[in-house]
Amino acid sequence: MNCAAQLSVNLELLHPTDLVRQNRLLQAVGLPLNLSDLSLESISAEDLLQTMYLDKKSSRGTLKLVLVQKIGQAKIHQDISDSEILKAIEMCRKAK
């Protein structure tokens, strides 16, 4: 959730204060915020991206991503570049 929200902020779909609010809520209920919380810190961003393309939600080489517009409101996007996704993954890797 944090990586999708971070990508939403990067794309200016979500206000950064909503990301902070979401992360506080996730933290309060014990959900992971970064990749190390999921034991994924040793996997490269590129490998994670390639794995995303194997997911059932990808189609014909296009990823379908659920991105947040505000808390409680999300929309499916299919036009996000690999470089934007990689940037969000790297930011989630460093998130505290």
Regarding the domain delimited by 2-94, which CATH topology (the fold level of the hierarchy) does it fall under? Answer: Dehydroquinate synthase-like, alpha domain (1.20.1090)
Q: Is the pTM of this model over 0.75?
A: yes
DSSP, collapsed to helix, strand or coil, labels residue 81 as coil
| pLDDT at position 73 | 93
Q: Please tell me the distance from the alpha carbon of residue 23 to that of residue 21, in angstroms, as a whole number.
A: 5
The radius of gyration of the chain from alpha carbons, rounded to an integer in Å, stands at: 13
For 45-87, how does the pLDDT look when each residue is reduced to its tens digit (9 = 90+)? 999 899 899 988 788 888 999 999 998 899 999 999 999 999 9
